[in-house]
């Protein structure tokens, strides 16, 4: 198995200028055709300029766009981790259970409950050391998005793709999230197992308190982070990235999602964990990490990608090849090229 990461992902924005290049090229070809029509008919102009080519400019433009695209990919610098290495580390196992139900789209926390939570989890990963991190996402059901790993770069990349579509069944089943998080820990005698539950606390599917007691019986602490406002907020509905309105019930009333602090406090209290109301850039995760650090760390074996190899040179070479081909193909037909029949078979 190979893991892929990108050294300079910000260069991906350069692809946005390609449609501009295409529009400019099409406009230039249109203006050229209109200007030629003023001089005479097409068959007359063809006889007057037998070396003119209508195909070659298109081929040259396509080659230039390919060269540009490949150069951008080279700048992004895809890297592959191709060698797994067994390593012994000392730390704690942390599973984050992240609510991705539609209520997490509410914007009473800017830029939105889910987006703010992802930023905070990303920051939490930056603060980890010799630990292992895993991620469970949940809505009406739950599944393990990131198995326990010490490869934090890979975890951060997978975290970016998390959204409300990550779980197909909508709703909020906190109990299933806790159950899935418990199952995500390896079967061992390690006692440093921690779950961090991030949710607005609205639960519609099960009794999470029973699952919290199950975690307590297995020596697992649950720390909770409540996100949202007590006043509540409507749930936005997006289509193609644009806000089209707010979620309504069967009677046409706007659905208001409210943060349930009591539930989140109870879940933490049962297992001896701490509760934080998500505020600030870290949403209280920094103080929770301090609590986790107070636990006795233990050694474990893990597999990590020991080497990442840059692959930019392949794309740079292909970009250079496209530029060379563009240089060899001229806008006009060439008598010398015509004699050796280099392009006549396909132009």
Tell me if 195 sits within 8 A of 97, measured CB to CB. yes
User: What's the pLDDT score for residue 306?
Assistant: 53
Kindly give the residue spans of alpha helices, DSSP state H, lying in the chain: 18-37, 42-48, 56-76, 113-127, 152-160, 174-184, 208-217, 261-271, 285-293, 312-328, 335-340
User: What's the pLDDT score for residue 219?
Assistant: 87
User: What's the pLDDT score for residue 251?
Assistant: 77
Strand boundaries in 64-168, DSSP class E: 78-91, 93-99, 132-138, 142-149
User: What's the pLDDT score for residue 257?
Assistant: 80
Q: Quick one: pLDDT band at residue 303, thresholds 50, 70, 90?
A: low
DSSP letter string, 267-304: HHHHHT--EEE--TTTTTHHHHHHHHHTSPPEEEEEEE
User: What's the pLDDT score for residue 342?
Assistant: 45
pLDDT tens by residue, 234-292: 888 877 777 777 878 777 788 888 778 888 999 999 999 999 987 777 888 888 888 88
Residue from 213, 255, 251 nearest 233 by CA: 255
Using the Cα atoms of residue 312, residue 314, residue 318 and residue 323 in order, give the sign of their dihedral.
positive
Helix axes 174-184, 208-217, angle to 10 degrees: 20
Distant-in-sequence, close-in-space partners of 295: CB < 8 Å, separation ≥ 6:
92, 191, 192, 194
Mean pLDDT of the chain: 80
Phi, psi torsion values for 3, nearest 5 degrees: -105, 135
CA distance 107 to 237: 12
Tell me if 151 sits within 8 A of 304, measured CB to CB. yes
Beta bridge partners of 195: 95, 222
Mean pLDDT along residues 77-96:
71
Q: How far is CA 261 from the centre of its chain?
A: 29
Residue 24 is encoded by which pair of tokens?
């400019």
Query: Above pLDDT 70, what percent of the chain?
Result: 79
Q: How far is CA 230 from the centre of its chain?
A: 30
User: What's the pLDDT score for residue 34?
Assistant: 76
239 or 87, which is more confident? 239
Residue from 272, 275, 194, 268 nearest 227 by CA: 275
Helix (H, G, I), strand (E, B) or coil at 11: helix
pLDDT tens by residue, 182-232: 998 887 655 678 999 999 877 767 788 999 999 999 889 999 999 888 787
Tell me if 146 sits within 8 A of 134, measured CB to CB. yes
pLDDT tens by residue, 158-190: 999 998 888 888 888 899 999 999 998 887 655
- Domains present along the chain, CATH in parentheses: 3-77+311-340 (no CATH), 85-303 (3.40.50.410)
Q: Quick one: pLDDT band at residue 347, thresholds 50, 70, 90?
A: very low
């Amino acid at each position: 198995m190979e893991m892929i990461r990108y050294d300079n992902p910000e260069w991906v924005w350069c692809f946005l200028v390609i449609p501009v290049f295409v529009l400019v090229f099409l406009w230039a070809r249109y203006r050229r055709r209109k200007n030629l029509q003023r001089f005479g008919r097409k068959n007359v102009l063809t006889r007057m300029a037998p070396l003119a080519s209508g195909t070659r400019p298109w081929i040259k433009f396509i080659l230039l766009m390919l060269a540009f695209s490949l150069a951008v990919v080279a700048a992004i610098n895809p890297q592959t981790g191709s060698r797994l290495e067994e390593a012994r580390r000392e730390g704690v196992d942390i599973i984050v259970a992240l609510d991705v139900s539609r209520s997490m789209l509410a914007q009473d926390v800017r830029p939105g409950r889910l987006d703010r939570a992802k930023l905070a989890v990303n920051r939490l990963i930056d603060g980890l050391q010799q630990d292992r991190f895993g991620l469970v996402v949940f809505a009406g059901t739950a599944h393990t998005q990131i198995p326990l790993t010490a490869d934090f770069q890979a975890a951060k990349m997978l975290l970016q793709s998390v959204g409300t579509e990550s779980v197909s069944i909508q709703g909020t089943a906190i109990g299933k999230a806790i159950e899935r998080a418990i199952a995500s820990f390896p079967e061992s005698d390690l006692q440093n197992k921690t779950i961090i539950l991030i949710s607005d606390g609205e639960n519609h599917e099960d009794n999470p308190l029973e699952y919290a007691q199950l975690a307590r019986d297995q020596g697992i602490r649950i720390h909770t982070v409540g996100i949202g406002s007590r006043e509540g907020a409507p749930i936005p509905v997006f289509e193609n990235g644009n806000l089209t309105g707010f979620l309504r019930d069967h009677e046409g009333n706007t659905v208001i999602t409210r943060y349930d602090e009591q539930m989140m406090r109870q879940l933490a209290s049962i297992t001896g964990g701490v509760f934080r109301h998500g505020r600030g850039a870290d949403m209280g995760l920094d103080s929770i990490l301090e609590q986790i650090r107070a636990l006795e760390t233990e050694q474990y074996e893990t597999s990590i990608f020991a080497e990442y190899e840059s692959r930019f040179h392949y794309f740079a070479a292909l970009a250079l090849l496209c530029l060379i081909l563009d240089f060899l193909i001229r806008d006009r037909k060439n008598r010398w090229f015509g004699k050796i029949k280099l392009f006549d078979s396909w132009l």
